[in-house]
Amino acid sequence: MSEIHEECGVFGLFAPAKQDVAATAYYGLFALQHRGQESAGIVVNDDGVFRSYKDIGLVNDVFTAENLSRLGEGNMAVGHVRYSTTGSGGRENAQPIVVNHLKGNMALAHNGNLVNASELRSELESEGSIFHTTSDSEVISYIITKERVKRRSIEEAVLAAMARLRGAYSFLVMSPSKLIAVRDAHGFHPLCYGRREDGTYVVASESCALDAVGAQLIREVEPGEMIVFTKDGPISDRTHCGGEKHLCVFEFLYIARPDSFIEGSSVHEARKQAGRFLAEAFPIDADIVIGVPDSGLDAAYGYAEASGIPYGIGFIKNKYIGRTFIAPEQAAREDRVRIKLNVLKSAIEGKRVILVDDSIVRGTTCARIVRMLRGAGAREVHMLSSAPAFLNPCFYGTDIDSREHLIACNHTVPEIARIIGADSVGYLPLDKVVALTGGDGTGFCTACFGGNYPTELPSETMKSRFERLERPISENPKFKK
């Protein structure tokens, strides 16, 4: 956990006539690649016949021209890119999940984490359900399927399932004739939809994916809302609306792409505003402001703009390597950091440097980057985080699962500066993070910073459950006498 891990990304479309929906889904997932880089999958609906392909790897590795052609044409598709916040990252956990049940078939793509997933899974297992994955997304698919066999329509089943799900979920469900978009009552993670000129409706985790396929953004799916797309157009159901909104503020700070708009606000502008707030809180006498690519760049520009200190390019990024946490072993992640970034020595040598990054988690990557700047001849390095200090685990989809490894939980700010080798360290003040988009801050979840969780907490997370069950029996406390 040297760096924050992304959410997942979901993409779906409903076309008025048969077309190459697999190619459209491919481009949509490509635009959402930053949200998950472990696996990718697409399911195409061709008059009720589902064709699917998914595997571990990046979108362009999983979907070769041959694999895409096998999916063929259709009038609907759902796609998914995954990072494993719950369960392991193997192929069995790749999505979308396809279920064949008594009344037909269904495909599901999910982003988020349920806080009651472990309880629901135990209940389903006691009733005879057999699980093939370790993700809470399969729990959602079972709950919907269980409701579907008792109800008249898939949308009734989804509404009934929503009443049982607790926590974060933005998901798409595809049936033989409908595409359904759902967002939890707190709206933890974004989900939006738009329309192309040919009448195709497109749903995605972020608006940048709509741009990638030529769709015009219409609006966000509201917290608690279910939208059903059929040949007659979208139909909204707000049965579960009315809850208090708690959008993950880290979507603006790190997760989302800067060209996306969330809840009407520009991600790029929000990150620049974070930099301006940092300039107010930490006025530093320096020669240059640089950002860590990619999500630290906008905040660095905002700091430079507010402070008057020149903005510069401090790192050259290798565009042909994924984010460092794709590699499962720490040593491999460290190797990737070295080949991913290289210091632009001519811009840094002899300078007092303000270094802006999106966060400081464990401190290991920050320390390595500071050492790189020192090695390039920087006289001073002042490390600023455009996020507040992480002090609490997240139960809603971002992979911060333990206070044990969070550097801010175990060290003071001066100690952190000494550990990572910086002259000073500063975090975005918590009271500023909620003002990034110009509002009064209501409607954001900041639990990972301030500890104010908007829901009940799980008694046992799915992740800890599977980590325990996968240990050797000799090391598993469940089997000790």
Q: What is the pLDDT of residues 405-446, one digit of tens each?
A: 899 999 999 999 999 999 999 999 999 999 999 876 678 999
Per DSSP, the residues of 347-404 read HHTT-EEEEEES--SSSHHHHHHHHHHHHTT-SEEEEEESSPPP-S--SSSSS---GG
Percent of the chain surpassing pLDDT 70: 88
Looking at residue 318, what is its pLDDT? 83
> Considering the domain boundaries, does residue 80 fall inside one?
yes
The answer to whether 221 touches 174, Cβ cutoff 8 Å, is: no
For residue 272, the enclosing domain spans: 268-442
> Does 297 map to a domain?
yes
The verdict on 114 and 240 lying in the same domain is: yes
Residues 325 and 197 in one domain: no
Let me know whether 191 and 140 are in one domain.
yes
What CATH code is carried by the domain that includes residue 419? 3.40.50.2020
Round to whole Å and give the CA distance between 222 and 202: 16
Are 137 and 286 in the same domain? Answer: no
Statement to judge: residues 115 and 25 lie in one domain: yes
Residue 466's SS3 state is helix
What band does 62 get if pLDDT is binned at 50, 70 and 90? very high
List the one residue out of 91, 82, 65 whose CA is nearest residue 29.
Answer: 82
Verify that 133 and 224 share a domain, yes or no. Answer: yes
* 458 located within any domain: no
- Residue 478 predicted with pLDDT over 80: no
What is the reported pLDDT for 469?
Answer: 41
Average pLDDT over residues 55-84: 93
Res. 5: pLDDT tops 90: no
φ, ψ of residue 241 in degrees (nearest 5):
-80, 170
For this structure, is 445 an active site residue? no
* 30 within 8 A of 212, measured Cβ to Cβ: yes
pLDDT digits (tens, 9 = 90+) for 213-241: 999 999 999 999 999 999 999 999 999 99
Tens of pLDDT, residue by residue over 274-294, are 999 999 999 999 999 999 998
Write the pLDDT tens digit of every residue in 256-268.
Answer: 999 999 999 999 9
Residue 306: inside a domain, yes or no?
yes
Residues 31 and 176 in one domain: yes
- Phi/psi for 157 (5° steps) reads -65, -40
Out of 8, 192, 208, 445, which one is annotated catalytic? 8
Number of domains in the chain: 2
Residue 37 lies in a domain: yes
Q: Running DSSP on this structure, what letter comes out for residue 456?
A: P
From 204, 168, 196, select the one nearest 80 (Cα to Cα): 204
CATH number for the domain that contains residue 86 = 3.60.20.10
Q: What was the pLDDT predicted at 1?
A: 37
Name the token pair of 325. Answer: 């946490």
Q: Give the total residue count for the chain.
A: 481
Residues 229 and 276 in one domain: no
Give me the pLDDT at residue 338, please. 67
Q: Look at residue 275 and tell me if it is in a domain.
A: yes
Shared domain for 196 and 308, answered yes or no, is no
**Is residue 450 a part of any domain in this protein?**
no
Q: What percent of the chain has pLDDT over 90?
A: 76
Residues 74 and 143 in one domain: yes
Please give the mean pLDDT across all residues of the chain: 89
